Amino acid sequence: MYAIVEIAGQQFKVAKDQQIFVHRLDEKEGSKVNFDRVLLIDNNGKVNVGAPVIDGASVSAKVLEHMKGDKVIVFKKKRRKGYQKTQGHRQYMTSIEITGISEKGGAKKAPPKKAEKPVAKAETKKADEKPAEKKAAPKKESKPKTVAKPAEKKAADTKKPAAKKTAAKKPAAKPKADEKKAETKKAAPKKESK
pLDDT tens-digit map of 87-104 = 999 999 999 999 999 988
d(CA 105, CA 111): 13
- What per-residue confidence (pLDDT) applies to 103? 84
Mean pLDDT of the residues in the chain: 76
Nearest to 20 by CA among 103, 102, 99: 99
Q: What is the pTM of this model?
A: 0.50
Which residues of the chain fall short of a pLDDT of 70?
105-194
**8 A C-beta contact, residue 24 and residue 93:** yes
Half-sphere exposure of 83 (CA within 13 A, CB side): 5
- What per-residue confidence (pLDDT) applies to 104? 80
- What per-residue confidence (pLDDT) applies to 61? 97
Asked if residue 52 has a cis previous peptide bond (ω within 30° of 0), the answer is yes
d(CA 149, CA 115): 52
